Structure formats: structure tokens, C-alpha cells
Copies of this chain bind each other. A is one copy, B any other.
Amino acid sequence: MSQSKITYTKDGPFFIIKFNSPESLNAMTSQDYIHLATLLKLAEKDPEVYFTVLQSSGRFFSSGADFKFISEYKDVLTGIEKDNTGGDHAARETQLTKVWLDGFLSTNVHVTDIFINHSKVLIACLNGPVVGLSAAIVALCDIVYAMNDDVYMLCPFSRLGLTCEGGTSITLPMKLGMNSTFESLMFAQKIKMDKLMGNIVVKNYKLNDTDEFNKVIMEELKTKIKTLYLPSCLAMKKLLRSSLNDELDKMNSKEVNQALPFWVDGVPLNRFRQMFHNKQRVRGQRADSKL
């Protein structure tokens, strides 16, 4: 596990988590997402921490789940098909259910749970686009800043044979409005800054350098909190999230429930594979325009 992909530092009341894989557009494996959740739990337990800040590096904030995990499943799935050539459908379904629960859905539920129930103020600093489960995580953050107009969110669930994940069935309608959410989710469209601004993003810094962007935000935050009584911030977050978190917990469970039959049928796998091949063909450098 390459843990240096996600690192953290503490700076007074700020717990800063940083994504360090600009070369892969900060794509994340299951292990990476669980490690991110582990860091959040570290921040959760630390009584000196009041704000958990997510920063990234390079061109993308995060391009979502890493497609490379697919090749790992080839042998497993071939094995299951061989085991069940005699046609025992129930046995085959049981094995596939176990594979996908473990390989994918259990991670989703866990990471989403940890973000839903995080009691510190969550701040995301979007230096660029954010896709898939990473976009869902940003939608769960309390305050979001954007570097410039190139930032967008993309939830390509309908293109990948998936369904809403990471609480997006609650967070997107609540933050973007129901009809805009339908348009974006049904047709797997990018949600651009004109729609994000004022709804998810609270400030557009109009900068072009990620390091400067991250630095400026931290300076502003330190100024803003000077006269505050910080326990008030956590008490207010608790109140503001009070009814929402129940709803999110419920939908976290329902979302996975609805996704499982699609995984067992092999739809997302095939669509990830196809996307992976397309992506390799175009050599990565125009990856964002393909998503």
C-alpha cells in the first residue's frame, strides 16, 4: 500500500489531509479510500482539531476510483465461472455477491459513514475537477473553496452502470436543487462552476497555482478564526447535521443495496474495463475530456 499518496499535517486547530498523486490525477484504490477514512478518524479523536481540511495537488482534485483494480478481478471471476459450469445459478450469485461486497461496496459504505459522521468542520479545497466517489465525498464537506473556473464535479454513474453512491442521493438534491441534480446524474454531465458557485462552492479564488491556492486558504482561515470560540463551531455543526445525518445513514445503506445487483450482473466491471481501454488509447493526457 502506497500510503504516501495521502499524507497529513497538523497546524493548530487544523488537520490538513493532502492527496499527493498528481501523476495519476489522484485516482484512489479501495485501500486509499480506507486510509483516507483512517486519517479522518485520527482527526476525529484529536481534541485539538476543529477543522479537517482536504487539499490536493496537480491538475485534478481526484479523478475517483482507480480503474487498475479491475485486472485484479479477472482471475477471481474466471474461477467463479469455472466452479459453476454445471449451472448452479444460486451458488454463482452467492460467490459474486461476496466478491463485490468485499471488493467494492463495503469500502464505499465505510468511507461514506466516516465522512457523514465526522464531527469536525470539513473543508475541501478544489484545485481542479473531482469525479465519482471523490465527488461524493466533496459533496459531504461543509465548506468548499474552488481555485478557478476549471473546477467541476462529475458523477458518471449512469455511464458506468452504477447508481448514486457516497450519499449523493441526498447531498446533491439538497445542495444543487432536485431538477439540476436529475439533469446532471441522469445524463452523466459535468457540474460546472456556474452551477457549483453559491451552492457547493462558497468562494472562487481565481488562482492558477495549486500551492498558492492551498497556502492562501490556510492564511485566510487562520485570520477568520482569531476571535472565535472554537467549541461553538463543533456544537453548531452537530446541530446543523442533526437531522441530515440520519437521512444520510439511511441512504448510504439503500444506495449500496441498489448497486449490488448491477455489480453481480457484471455491468460496472465491463464498463470500467471499456473505459480503461479507451483511456489508455488516448494516453491519459486528455483524460478529463473523456470522463
Contact of A233 among B158, B229, B250, B267 (CB under 8 A): B158
Contacts of A235 in B (CB 8 A): 163-164, 258-259, 262
B residues less than 8 Å from A273 (CB atoms): none
Distance (whole angstroms) from the CB of A4 to the closest CB of chain B: 11
Cβ B233 vs Cβ A186 within 8 A: yes
Interface residues of A in 93-114 (CB under 8 A from B): 93-95, 97-98, 101-102, 105-107, 109-110, 113
| B179 and A202 within 8 A (CB) | yes
CA A169 – CA B238 in complex, angstroms? 9
**Cross-chain contact A107 with B113 (CB below 8 angstroms):** no
Q: List the number of copies, as a whole number.
A: 6
Cβ-defined contact, A158 with B232, below 8 A: yes
Distance, CA A113 to CA B256, complexed state (A): 10
Given contacts A163-B239, A179-B144, contact A229 B271 (CB under 8 A): yes
A290 to chain B, nearest CB (A): 11
Q: Give the size range of A's interface with the partner.
A: 35 or more
A253 CB-CB contact with B under 8 Å: yes
Check: A247 CB closer than 8 A to any chain B CB.
yes
Q: Which residues of B contact A271 (CB under 8 A)?
A: 229
A277 → chain B, closest Cβ, in Å?
14
Q: How far is the CB of A265 from chain B (nearest CB, A)?
A: 9
- Nearest residue (CB) in B for A102 is B102
Q: In the complex the two chains form, what is the Cα distance from A10 to B102 in whole Å?
A: 31
Residues in chain B near residue A186, CB distance under 8 A: 121, 142-143, 228, 233, 236-237
Say whether A180 faces chain B, with CB atoms less than 8 Å apart.
yes
Chain B residue at smallest Cβ distance from A242: B254
Least CB distance from A158 to B in Å reads 4
Residues of B within 8 A of A242 (CB): 169, 246, 251, 254
Contact with B along A80-91 (1 / 0, CB 8 A): 000000001011
Interface membership of chain A positions 133-165, coded 1 if the CB is closer than 8 angstroms to chain B and 0 otherwise: 000000001111000000000000111111110
Interface check A289, CB cutoff 8 A: no
Residues of B within 8 Å of A227, CB to CB, are 159, 188
Q: Are A35 and B91 in contact (CB under 8 A)?
A: yes
Asked whether, in the complex, the Cβ of A97 is within 8 Å of the Cβ of B37, the reply is: yes
Contact A142 B187, beta carbon cutoff 8 Å: no
- From A71-79, A170-178, A211-219, give the one contacting chain B: A170-178
Q: A254–B249 contact, CB under 8 A?
A: yes
In the bound complex, residues from chain B placing their C-beta under 8 Å from that of A175 are 177-179
B229 and A200 form a contact (CB under 8 A): no
Residues of B within 8 A of A185 (CB): 236, 240
